Amino acid sequence: MKQTTSAALPLSRPFLALVCTLEAAYGVISMFAAVLLNHLAISVGGIGTVEELLRAGLPVILFALVYGGGRALAEGMTQLYADRAAQGLRRALNRSVMSMDSATFARQDTGEYLNLMSGDVLLIRDQYYAKLPLVFCYAAQFVFCVAYSLILNPVVGLVIMALSVTQYFTPSLFNRAIGRRTVVQSRQTAAFTSKLKELLLGFSVVKSYGGEEQAQGEFDRADESMTRARVGAAVLTQVMMCVNMGVGWAMVVIPVVLSGYFVMTGAMAVGSLLTVFYIANRYSMPTIGFADAWSSIRGSRGMREKLAGFLAEHPAAEPGESRPIRRELEVREMSFSYHGDTPTLRQVSFRFEMGKKYLLLGESGCGKSTLLRVLSGQYPAQGVYVDGTPMEDLSAGALAGRLVLVGQQPYVFRRTVADNIDFLHTGDRARLADVVDKCRLGDLVAGLPQGLDTVVDEEQRQLSGGQKARIGLARALYTGPDVLLLDEVTSALDPATAREIEEMILELDYPLVIHISHKPSRELMARYNGVLTMDRGQIVDIQRHHLA
């Protein structure tokens, strides 16, 4: 199916430019305190009255107000940008996942997708999106410090610059190692999420077989691997910060001692000593901050490449116009394999005509369910034609709602019964009541506290397998597709209800119905236009009934 391609992580460049400008402005404002401090130190000797003191201190008061407001604005906008950029990345990743076909989706455990859109995005938010604007803030502070320190004393300025260069390059010794450990941390977190999901979903099996200790052991091993990966990355980061802080302290002590010497020799004013101390301290802050931000950005490179690669490999599907199926759904010498080894379907050929109903028979594992998945488009395969057009040539949205597959275990979302059936929220209550009646859901609805407006949940096990099967069927009937593919939807029902449902299916005024059933009655079999028997991935018998 046709798709668009995009490999870059979302950045929102206009918003980023605004935030970087604010951070740079704040960086300059924060360093302007050195100018005011030097002004006060020089002026204090000439102050003789309270009025003169207030005049000298007024710029400091005004600066404090501007500084506080600038800091709050810059930091607030930086966090807002990081949150919005992370939100855009999560949405892009989710669109990519939702655009996959079922075969592609099944290649990874769902725990990997959960971690991708939670832990990995959070890491990119903290180590990339939130750090980008700070680079401009620290760069502005650094440039201001360089210029003003050189004005105060060229020798002191050059010494501070030399120390700052040392401090800047220190993190580069750790960047690659931190980046590798970050990727390992992501993998171990995904493995832990998958294991946790598996144990929680299999809770009843664990309890039934007395496997609590074994489950706890599996949990502990996954947790230990994740914790070790996180600790490894954290320890390396702290080592880098400790080394950097040591150089930072040297940046404060050495310039102050050197300035003290120049004061003693008369090369600098006494008041400038305090200014040098402030600048040396502030010199260290932007250098440490810049090095930390840049190290985080460099360290996140592996994770950014991983997410960008995922977006490029699974581009969001291009929305297409839905087109009705008018004549037929056909397979021509179609073969299919789940993993590229032994074919599940082999050279299958048949033309399913619109306006007819077909029954698929065969033993378990013969390929019936796989055939329906391929026909639905969930698993792409060459040799499937819709009104003569190869299915792979159709746009992603062309068959949306036109081909609907109801599986053996339909999923029930955490929402009301009505919203589970009216999945796209069209709000047609009359149609809803009709499909509830057709799928024999009246007793279920009557027994729920709020009827159709009762919230149900897949995990809370409020519904039996048969009830979920009927809700899944009702969801399909409400949608009104051109082709209805039913995979043993009556297998979890009692014989009487199963017969009622199958009779209802045969009475449906649908263009095309293909139904899998293990034990149909001979009477009902005779009411299908065609009965196909499958064995070992092939159609081995076809019975056609010419119904009036």
Per-residue pLDDT tens over the stretch 196-246? 878 877 776 677 667 788 888 888 998 899 898 888 888 887 887 777 777
Q: Residue 288 CA to chain centroid, in angstroms?
A: 32
Domains of the chain: 13-189+231-313 (1.20.1560.10), 328-544 (3.40.50.300)
Q: What is the DSSP letter of 516?
A: E
From residue 421, give the alpha-carbon distance in Å to each of 391, 450, 459, 477.
27, 15, 18, 9
What is the identity of the amino acid at 177? A
d(CA 368, CA 372): 7
Show the tokens assigned to 283: 């010199």
Helices 212-264, 270-299: inter-axial angle, 10-degree rounding = 150
- Paired with 345 in beta bridges are 336
Give the Cα separation of 516 and 359 in Å (integer).
Answer: 6
Residues 6+ apart with CB under 8 A from 336: 343, 344, 345, 370, 374, 379, 381
Q: What one-letter code names the amino acid at 444? A: L
DSSP state letter for 520? -
For 207, counting Cβ atoms within 10 Å of its Cβ (0-12 exposed, 13-18 middle, 19+ buried), the class is exposed
195 - beta bridge partners? none
Asked if 336 contacts 380 with a C-beta cutoff of 8 angstroms, the reply is: no
Output the pTM of the full model. 0.74
Residue 5: predicted pLDDT: 36
**Rounded-to-10 torsion of CA 144, 150, 155, 157:** 0
Phi, psi of 210 (to 5 degrees): 65, 40
Low-confidence ranges of the chain (pLDDT < 50): 1-7, 548
> Tokens 């009036």 label which residue?
548
Pairing of strands 483-487, 403-406: parallel
Please give the pLDDT value at position 6: 37
228: its two tokens: 């070790």
- How many residues are there in the chain? 548
279 C-beta neighbours (distance < 10 Å), count: 28
Beta strand pairing call for 356-361 and 530-535:
parallel
Nearest to 444 by CA among 436, 433, 432: 436
Confidence (pLDDT) at 37: 62
Residues 399, 353: Cα–Cα separation, whole Å: 17
∠ CA(373), CA(376), CA(377), 5° rounding?
Answer: 90
Residue 8's alpha-carbon distances to 11, 312, 488, in angstroms, are 8, 8, 43
Which pLDDT score, from 0 to 100, does residue 234 have?
A: 83
Spatial CB neighbours of 137, under 8 Å, sequence gap ≥ 6:
23, 24, 26, 27, 74, 286, 289
What CA–CA distances, in Å, run from 504 to 435, 464, 491? 11, 21, 15
Contact 134, 216 (CB under 8 A): no
Is 387 in a helix, a strand, or coil?
Answer: coil
Return left, alpha or beta for 487; rule: phi > 0 is left, psi -120 to 50 is alpha, else beta. Answer: beta
Residues forming beta bridges with residue 532, ordered by sequence position:
360, 542
The Cα 196–Cα 312 span in angstroms is: 29
CA distance 265 to 70: 39
pLDDT of residue 200: 77
Helix (H, G, I), strand (E, B) or coil at 381: coil
- Give residue-wise pLDDT tens across range 321-380: 778 899 999 999 999 998 777 889 999 999 999 989 999 999 888 999 999 999 988 888
3-state class (DSSP) for residue 449: coil
Cα–Cα distance, 515 to 488 (Å, whole number):
7
- Residue 388: DSSP 8-state: T
Query: Using CB atoms within 10 A of its CB, is residue 160 exposed (0-12), middle (13-18) or buried (19+)?
Result: buried
- Between the alpha carbon of residue 268 and those of residues 69, 257, 504, the distances in Å are 34, 13, 98
Rounded CA gap, 348 and 346, in Å?
A: 6
Residue type, 470: R
Bridge partner list, 539: 534
Residue with tokens 């600038």, as numbered in its chain? 70
Cα→Cα distances 318→4, 161, 378, 394, 396, Å: 6, 53, 16, 11, 6
